[in-house]
Structure 1
Amino acid sequence: MSTLKSKAAIDHRICFVGDSFVQGTGDPLCLGWVGRVAQDAVARGINLTHYNLGIRRDTSRDIAARWQQECAARLPADCEALVVFSFGVNDTSIFEGVQRVSEEESLANFQSILRTASSSYKVLMIGPPPMPDSAHNRRVAQLNKQFAELATTLNVPYLSVFEVLRKDEHWLKEAIANDFAHPGQHGYERLAGLVQGWSAWWFGT
Structure 2
Amino acid sequence: MTYYNLGIRRETSADIATRWLPEVSRRLPDGCDGGLVFSFGVNDTTIEQSQCRVFFDNSVKNANQILTVAKGLFPVLMVSPPPIADQEQNIRTAELSQQFTEVCRQLYIPYLDVFRPLQASRVWMDEVAAYDGAHPSSSGYSQMAELVQSWQAWQSWFT
Q: Same fold (TM over 0.5)?
A: yes
Contact in 2 for aligned 1:196/1:203 (Cα 8 Å): no
- Matched with 1:73 is 26
Q: What is the count of residue pairs matched by the alignment?
A: 157
Q: 1:82 aligns with which of 25, 31, 35?
A: 35
**Match status 1:61 vs 2:14:** yes
Deviation at 1:49? 1.1
> 3-state SS of the aligned residue for 1:125?
strand
**Higher radius of gyration, 1 or 2:** 1
Deviation at 1:81? 1.8
**Match status 1:197 vs 2:150:** yes
Which structure features the higher share of strand residues?
1
| TM-score, normalising length: structure 2 | 0.96
**RMSD, aligned CA:** 1.0
Deviation at 1:154? 0.6
Which structure features the higher share of helix residues?
2
Q: Deviation above 3 Å: which 4+ runs of structure 1?
A: none
**Match status 1:146 vs 2:99:** yes
> 3-state SS of the aligned residue for 1:193?
helix
| TM-score, normalising length: structure 1 | 0.75
Contact in 2 for aligned 1:60/1:91 (Cα 8 Å): yes
CA distance in structure 2 between the aligned counterparts of 1:175 and 1:131, rounded to whole angstroms: 6
- Matched with 1:124 is 77
- Matched with 2:126 is 173
> 3-state SS of the aligned residue for 2:34?
strand
Q: 1:115 aligns with which of 52, 59, 68?
A: 68
CA distance in structure 2 between the aligned counterparts of 1:156 and 1:114, rounded to whole angstroms: 8
Q: Deviations over 1:103-156 (max 9, x none)?
A: 000000000000000011111101000122111010000000110111000111
- Contiguous gaps of at least 5 residues in structure 2: none
CA distance in structure 2 between the aligned counterparts of 1:76 and 1:111, rounded to whole angstroms: 23
Contact in 2 for aligned 1:128/1:140 (Cα 8 Å): yes
Q: Which has the higher contact order (CA 8 A, sep 6+)?
A: 1
> 3-state SS of the aligned residue for 1:84?
strand
